[in-house]
A and B are shown apart, each in its own frame.
Chain A
Amino acid sequence: MKKMWKLWLMSVLAVLLLAACGTTTTEDQPKVDGTPQDEVAQDDVIEEAFPVTLTDAVGNEITLEKAPATIVSMTPSNTEILFALGLATEIIGVNDYDNYPAEALEKEKIGGMQFDVEKIVAMNPEIVFAHESGLSTGAEGLQQLRDAGLPVFVVKNALDFEETYTSIKTIGQATGKSAEAEKIVADMKAKVVEVTTKVASVENKKTVFVETSPAPEIYTPGNNTFMNQILEMVGAENIAADQEGWFMMDPEEIVNRNPEVIIVMYSYIDTAVEDVYKRNGFDSITAIKNEAVVQVDENKTSRTGPRLAEGLEEVAKAIYPEAFGE
Chain B
Amino acid sequence: MNKSSVAYIVSIATLLVAIWLGVSIGSVNIPISTLWNTAADATATNILWKIRMPRVVLAGLVGASLAIAGAAFQGLLKNPLADPYTLGVSSGASVGAVMTLFFGISIPVFGMYTLPVFSMVGAALTMFLVLGFARLVDHSMKMETIILTGIIFGSFLGSVLSLMIALTGEELRQIIGWLLGSVSMRGWNYVTMILPFVIVGSIMLWLCRRELNAMLFGEERAHHLGVNVRRRKFMILIGGSILTGAAVAVSGTIGFVGLVVPHMTRLLWGADHRHLLTLSFLNGASLLIICDLIARTIISPTELPVGVITAFIGAPVFAFIFYKQRRKGAM
Are A and B associated in one complex? yes
A interface vs B, CB < 8 Å?
213-218, 240, 243, 247-253, 255-256, 258, 268-269, 279-284
Contact partner of B174 among A213, A247, A280, A281, CB < 8 A?
A213
**Given A214-B174, A256-B28, A268-B170: A284 and B46 interface contact (C-beta under 8 Å):** yes
Interface check B315, CB cutoff 8 A: no
In whole angstroms, how far apart are the Cα atoms of A243 and B187 in the complex? Answer: 27
B50 contacts A250, C-beta separation under 8 Å = no
> A53 to nearest B CB, angstroms?
40
Interface check B221, CB cutoff 8 A: no
**Given A280-B185, A283-B46: A248 and B302 interface contact (C-beta under 8 Å):** yes
B171 contacts A249, C-beta separation under 8 Å = no
B303: chain A residues within 8 A (beta carbon): 248-250
B301 contacts A250, C-beta separation under 8 Å = yes
In whole angstroms, how far apart are the Cα atoms of A280 and B190 in the complex? Answer: 11
**Given A217-B182, A280-B51: A258 and B43 interface contact (C-beta under 8 Å):** yes
Extra contacts besides A213-B173, A216-B186, A253-B301 (17): CB < 8 Å: A214-B174, A215-B184, A215-B185, A216-B185, A217-B184, A248-B303, A249-B301, A249-B303, A251-B184, A252-B28, A252-B52, A253-B300, A255-B46, A268-B174, A281-B49, A281-B51, A284-B45
A243: chain B residues within 8 A (beta carbon): 301-302
DSSP majority for the A interface? loop
Interface check B158, CB cutoff 8 A: no
B184: chain A residues within 8 A (beta carbon): 215-217, 251
A-B contact count (CB 8 A): 87
A216: chain B residues within 8 A (beta carbon): 177-178, 182, 184-186
Closest to B45 in A: A284
Interface check B233, CB cutoff 8 A: no
A256: chain B residues within 8 A (beta carbon): 27-28, 43, 47
Interface check B330, CB cutoff 8 A: no
B interface vs A, CB < 8 Å?
26-28, 42-43, 45-47, 49-52, 54, 170-171, 173-174, 177-178, 180, 182, 184-188, 296, 300-305
A268: chain B residues within 8 A (beta carbon): 170-171, 173-174
**Given A213-B177, A252-B52: A280 and B300 interface contact (C-beta under 8 Å):** no
In whole angstroms, how far apart are the Cα atoms of A258 and B49 in the complex? Answer: 17
B180: chain A residues within 8 A (beta carbon): 217
A279 contacts B170, C-beta separation under 8 Å = no
B174: chain A residues within 8 A (beta carbon): 213-214, 268-269
Would you list 30 pairs from A and B whose C-beta atoms are within 8 A, ordered by A residue? A213-B173, A213-B174, A213-B177, A216-B177, A217-B182, A218-B185, A243-B301, A247-B302, A248-B304, A249-B303, A250-B26, A250-B296, A251-B51, A251-B185, A252-B47, A252-B296, A253-B27, A253-B28, A255-B43, A255-B46, A255-B47, A255-B51, A256-B28, A268-B170, A268-B174, A269-B174, A280-B50, A280-B54, A281-B47, A284-B42
B304: chain A residues within 8 A (beta carbon): 248
Determine which residue in A213, A258, A280, A283 has the highest number of CB atoms from chain B within 10 A of its CB, and name it. Answer: A280
In whole angstroms, how far apart are the Cα atoms of A22 and B244 in the complex? Answer: 71
A281 contacts B46, C-beta separation under 8 Å = yes
> A120 to nearest B CB, angstroms?
21
In whole angstroms, how far apart are the Cα atoms of A214 and B172 in the complex? Answer: 12
> B62 to nearest A CB, angstroms?
13
